[in-house]
Structure 1
Amino acid sequence: MTAAVELSDNPANRCTVWTFPKQIADLPYHEFSSQASADDEWSLNQGGVKQGVATFAITVTTTSDSAVVIQNLRLKTLSKTAPVHGVEIRRAMGCGGVKQERNYDGDLNGSSLKSVDPPQPGVGDPPKYTVTKTDPEIFEVLIVDSSTTPCLDNFEFQLDWTQGNTTSTLDIRSKDKKPLQLNNSHGSSPDPTYYGEDGTWVRTGS
């Protein structure tokens, strides 16, 4: 079984913000598209890190003839370091989206390992899903860090699964096997924020 994670194309990610450890004059212009994962790849190649909140899509597949049952999806904080500062780029000025059935919330604050939760309190543990060769599963997980201490979160997802008598856990990181990251400034970032318009970066509030 394999799993891939990328920034979701959910319209909620239209307002994604990245922090770049450089000045705006050193950041080449980028025309953001409707494909969040492509925009995220450009940002990561420029040294950017997602800021504040992000919704990830996790696609789970198998090549086995036997079905795989997903038992639990967990969030593991690997480390917390000093936050990234420089300049912030906003993907768009408006956003919004509809949460689907396989949508969960994860908070990087608190214990280093926890299950992701449904967005509605009291629903209970994430339901079990079955993955087959012809029927993958796609989960969306909105990640935040509610801590009041600014930091850079390094984290991964962990997927508990069973197949017959076999039970295992799959660690899910970026496609280059590096930890996922989220910059948490707790709403008090001193960095200037820009968005793209007509081929140039425009500072918000200007």
Structure 2
Amino acid sequence: MDNTIEFYLKNPIIKHDVGILLVKDIQHRFVASNSGFSIFSGLPPENLIGLSDFDMPWSEQAKIYISHEKDILSGLSYNVIEPLLGIKRANLVTQKKIIYDRTGLPKGTIATALPLDMDIDFCNLSGTSDILRVADYGMNLTKKESLVLYYFIKGFQRNHIASLAKISTSAFDFHISNIKGKFCVNTTNELKDAAYSRGLQDIIPFVIKR
């Protein structure tokens, strides 16, 4: 039988050497974790108890992880590739499951994750597939703006980005103008600098279900 949440409440330091193992309660607060997670959070497991993703270095992406947890708690089941912009940056292949209490009631989620070491090229993806959900960079971007910014950071030019995102060049101009406004910059060079200063080049703005 799998461990219940009561076990992890009493044992917040998990002995698990491969990747990340992480338990959260139903309010998405950290209950227990392994040392692998500390590499990204910068905190030992005992200091994470009661904190949430909003308290972490990746707070701007917190809603990506919480959205997945809400899906799992609602009964959905899927694995994802999602970014983790921590002390160490990585894209993670993550599986999450419901964790129950000793009476059988859902009380949170347990996640296992492995860093994805390969450089993924999403140039053939437009965000329309059922397995692909466009996430947010933490800047309140729309789905299309996130796609445009992703290709822009990759160094593609206006016409190529419009083709990849399946939009017109005038639509590209509209979206890039909105993105500059949200980043409070005036030029594309300033936008690129702002994106890199936030480490956005290390983030995959897609959640891939499989």
Range class of TM-score, shorter chain: under 0.3
Larger strand proportion, structure 1 or 2? 1
TM-score normalised by the chain length of structure 2: 0.21
Which has the larger helix fraction?
2
TM-score (norm 1): 0.21
Higher relative contact order (CA 8 A, sep 6+): 1
